[in-house]
């Protein structure tokens, strides 16, 4: 997702959130944990069909869930479908040697969780089963998409219907029944089909397989080959025009598709020229685009943006920067369209490499925010890329740790964006070898290709690739709000220094200089240290670390 822009309203929001104590509920645990109704089965494939009634702002549909039994089941299964959506019926496909029939499954509701009740304990480990869930309702309307998401039912400036969904954090179960958990993506991808009124087009993830007509409706069927996060599954319905192109990428030809509202075509073709150099840049730094089989799309959306896998939502008003604003406060943020770059960066981190628990979503947002500075570097050189990244550190608020609470479907602080980017920046500085750092980023993409991961996995892989012991570093910046303070004194040709406000064993290689060009690299700890220092006056401390300085 993208971060809210830095405004007075945002600062107020941060202050309010910093003083909020969350009381988690049983519903939070059901949604965020791998409980007894979830931990014995694995999703292999979804086949989702949805019909849209634009007059009543309602939908109806069915989702076929193909699953594998991974261990001895219990007597119930949890399927997620949020209020006010309603589950109509559930059918289990039963096959015998010479026939196939549908068995109706009983169910009951517990808030946003639905418990299927059947003799699942008769199922055997290793078996594959198919359930068809029929449902309908008026899905939750988005309040402030994409942050406070749901369905957006609106009209474009020409008066045509324009409909889309945004549901990261809120969850895919706001509009379709599924196992709504980041750690369980459909291993074999999914098919989606959207039935919409004639005259409108329905764009989704993957490749367009078929457009069929029936009376005054037409159905757009899309096939997704790769695993996909539930919140990435999406649609865009409107009066779209389409063109395509091809990128000669690291793995060969990559199919590029662009879907924009009819009256945006001319300016979109100009604004979207950035896509090819951006993808080349990201492939250089982070490895091959992760979804060659499904292609890359950029789609006009009725909200700011989202990283929908292979179908990136674009709503930045064809402006440079973040809605015409420079989040880095350096002037460099106006060099590119923030939404195109940030949301596309998520194809590598967020969509390809996915945090198992929302608490670890800094893996998505921090590395992706750092990718913005990599693109600036590709365009204008390393110095400007670094300057851009450091500028975004001004958005850090340290309201709470950027790792959230586990198994309750809760993210940490919004600092996961800019503080997460600072973490990647500082690791690059400490690595002191740009090629090793680049191979580390590519290694993260390759080693975790189409996988869900934990923070501990990413920490270990970064440490292995860089050869650095980063345990205390990660504990400091991921798990506390403490900003290290370098305290120093200069007296009698000696500099004394230490770190305040740090976790156990924390240190950084800090470069300090004097006006006469005297330079030293110090490694402060919690204990006072000293070095000879004949230079007079205050020292200058490298800007490359997120620290404070006190004389």
* CATH number reported for the structural domain that contains residue 520 in this entry: 2.60.40
Q: Among residues 413, 348, 403, 412, which one has the least CA distance to residue 374?
A: 348
Arithmetic mean of pLDDT over the chain: 95
CA 64 to the chain's CA centroid? 26
Is it the case that residue 6 has pLDDT exceeding 90? no
Supply the pLDDT for residue 10. 38
Total tally of structural domains belonging to the chain: 1
Decide if 284 is inside a domain: no
Torsion angle defined by CA atoms of residues 285, 290, 295 and 296, in that order, rounded to the nearest 10 degrees: -50
Is it the case that residue 20 has pLDDT exceeding 60? no
| Strand 548-550 with 485-490, pairing | parallel
Task: Give the C-alpha separation, 60 to 176, whole Å.
Answer: 9
Give 227-247 pLDDT, tens digit per residue. Answer: 999 999 999 999 999 999 999
**Hey, which residues does 298 pair with through a beta bridge?**
258, 312
Task: Give the C-alpha separation, 139 to 165, whole Å.
Answer: 10
Q: Among residues 325, 409, 249, which one has the least CA distance to residue 3?
A: 325
Task: Give the C-alpha separation, 367 to 459, whole Å.
Answer: 12
Supply the angle between the helices 434-447 and 418-431 in degrees, to the nearest 10.
Answer: 130
Q: Among residues 375, 180, 162, 168, which one has the least CA distance to residue 260?
A: 162
- Tokens standing for 91? 């059918």
Supply the pLDDT for residue 38. 97
Decide if 496 is inside a domain: yes
* Rg over CA atoms, the chain: 25
The secondary structure of 266-292 as a DSSP string is HHHHHHGGGHHHHHHHHHHHH-S-TTT
Is it the case that residue 12 has pLDDT exceeding 60? no
Is it the case that residue 4 has pLDDT exceeding 80? no
Is it the case that residue 7 has pLDDT exceeding 90? no
Decide if 533 is inside a domain: yes
Q: Which residue has the tokens 């690595």?
A: 431
Are 392 and 67 in contact, with CB atoms under 8 Å apart? Answer: no
- Average pLDDT of span 447-471: 98
Label residue 169 left, alpha or beta by phi (over 0 means left) and psi (-120 to 50 means alpha): left
The pTM score is: 0.95
- Average pLDDT of span 394-408: 97
- Tokens standing for 464? 């292995």
Give 147-167 pLDDT, tens digit per residue. Answer: 999 999 999 999 999 999 999
Task: Give the C-alpha separation, 12 to 19, whole Å.
Answer: 11
Peptide bond into 297 cis (omega under 30): no
Are 91 and 137 in contact, with CB atoms under 8 Å apart? Answer: no
- Tokens standing for 173? 């179960």
Decide if 345 is inside a domain: no
- Tokens standing for 429? 């500085």
HSE at residue 469, side-chain half, CA atoms within 13 A, is 5
Give 346-384 pLDDT, tens digit per residue. Answer: 999 999 999 999 999 999 999 999 999 999 999 999 999
pLDDT band at 8 (very low <50, low <70, confident <90, very high): very low
Are 466 and 437 in contact, with CB atoms under 8 Å apart? Answer: yes
**Hey, which residues does 219 pair with through a beta bridge?**
195, 212
Task: Give the C-alpha separation, 141 to 153, whole Å.
Answer: 8
Peptide bond into 339 cis (omega under 30): no
Q: Among residues 393, 380, 328, 424, which one has the least CA distance to residue 543?
A: 393
Report the b/e string of 54-76 with b at 16+ CB within 10 A. Answer: eeeeebbbbbbbbbebeeebeeb
Long-range CB contacts (< 8 A, 24+ apart) of 250-253? 250/283, 250/287, 250/288, 250/289, 251/288, 251/289, 251/292, 252/292
Decide if 538 is inside a domain: yes
CA distances from 176 to 112, 130, 135 (A): 12, 17, 8
Report the b/e string of 11-44 with b at 16+ CB within 10 A. Answer: eebbeeeeeeeeeeeeebebbbbbeebbebbbbb
Q: How many residues does the chain have?
A: 551
Decide if 526 is inside a domain: yes
Count the Cβ atoms, other than its own, within 10 Å of residue 470: 18
Peptide bond into 171 cis (omega under 30): no
Q: Is 546 exposed, middle or buried (0-12, 13-18, 19+ CB in 10 A)?
A: buried
Decide if 509 is inside a domain: yes
Decide if 517 is inside a domain: yes
CA distances from 455 to 353, 356, 511 (A): 11, 9, 29
- Tokens standing for 234? 């999406």
Supply the pLDDT for residue 509. 98
- Average pLDDT of span 519-540: 94
Supply the pLDDT for residue 13. 35
Domain housing 544: 485-550
Supply the pLDDT for residue 347. 98
- Average pLDDT of span 275-289: 98
Count the Cβ atoms, other than its own, within 10 Å of residue 497: 23
Which position has the higher pLDDT, 84 or 100?
84
- Tokens standing for 541? 């401390």
């Amino acid at each position: 997702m993208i971060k809210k822009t830095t405004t007075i309203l945002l600062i107020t929001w941060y202050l309010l959130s910093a003083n909020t104590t969350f009381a988690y509920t049983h519903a939070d645990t059901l949604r965020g944990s791998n409980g007894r109704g979830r931990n014995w089965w694995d999703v292999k494939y979804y086949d989702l069909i949805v019909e849209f009634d634009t007059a009543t702002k309602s939908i109806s549909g069915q989702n076929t869930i193909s699953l594998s039994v991974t261990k001895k089941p219990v007597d119930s299964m949890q399927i997620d479908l949020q209020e006010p959506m309603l589950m109509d019926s559930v059918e289990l496909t039963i096959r015998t040697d010479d026939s196939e029939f549908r068995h109706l499954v009983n169910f009951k509701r517990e808030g946003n969780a639905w418990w299927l009740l059947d003799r699942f304990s008769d199922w055997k480990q290793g078996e594959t089963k198919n359930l068809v869930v029929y449902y309908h309702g008026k899905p939750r309307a988005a309040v402030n998409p994409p942050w406070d998401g749901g369905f957006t039912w609106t009209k474009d400036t020409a008066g045509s219907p324009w409909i889309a969904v945004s549901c990261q954090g809120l969850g895919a179960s706001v509009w379709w029944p599924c196992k709504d958990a980041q750690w369980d993506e459909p291993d074999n991808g999914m098919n989606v089909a959207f039935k919409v009124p004639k005259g409108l087009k329905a764009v989704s993830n993957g490749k367009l397989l078929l457009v069929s007509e029936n009376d005054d409706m037409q159905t757009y069927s899309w096939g997704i080959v790769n695993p996909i996060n539930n919140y990435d599954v999406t649609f865009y319905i409107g009066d779209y025009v389409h063109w395509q192109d091809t990128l000669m990428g690291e793995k060969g030809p990559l199919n590029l598709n662009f879907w924009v509202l009819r009256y945006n075509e001319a300016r979109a073709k100009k604004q979207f020229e950035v896509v090819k150099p951006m993808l080349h840049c990201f492939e250089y730094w982070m490895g091959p685009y992760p979804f060659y089989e499904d292609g890359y799309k950029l789609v006009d959306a009725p909200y700011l943006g989202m990283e929908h896998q292979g179908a990136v939502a674009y709503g930045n008003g064809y402006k440079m920067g973040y809605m015409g604003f420079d989040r880095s406060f350096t002037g460099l943020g106006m060099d590119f369209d923030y939404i195109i770059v940030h949301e596309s960066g998520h194809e590598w981190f967020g969509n390809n490499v996915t945090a198992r628990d929302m608490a670890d979503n800094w893996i998505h947002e921090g590395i992706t925010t750092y990718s913005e500075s990599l693109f600036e570097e590709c365009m204008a050189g390393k110095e400007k890329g670094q300057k851009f990244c450091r500028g975004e550190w001004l958005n850090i608020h340290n309201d709470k740790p950027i790792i959230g609470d586990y198994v309750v479907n809760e993210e940490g602080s919004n600092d996961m964006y800019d503080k997460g980017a600072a973490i990647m920046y500082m690791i690059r500085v400490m690595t002191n070898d740009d090629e090793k750092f680049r191979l580390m980023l590519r290694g993260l993409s390759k080693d975790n290709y189409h996988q869900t991961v934990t923070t501990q996995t990413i920490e270990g892989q970064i440490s292995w690739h860089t050869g650095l012991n980063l345990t205390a570093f990660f504990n400091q910046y991921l798990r506390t709000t403490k900003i290290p303070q370098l305290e120093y004194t200069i007296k009698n040709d000696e500099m004394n220094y230490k770190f305040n406000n740090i976790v156990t064993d924390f240190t950084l290689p800090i470069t300090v200089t004097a006006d006469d060009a005297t330079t030293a690299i110090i490694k402060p700890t919690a204990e006072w240290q000293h070095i000879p220092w004949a230079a007079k006056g205050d020292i200058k401390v490298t800007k490359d670390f997120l620290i404070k300085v006190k004389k």
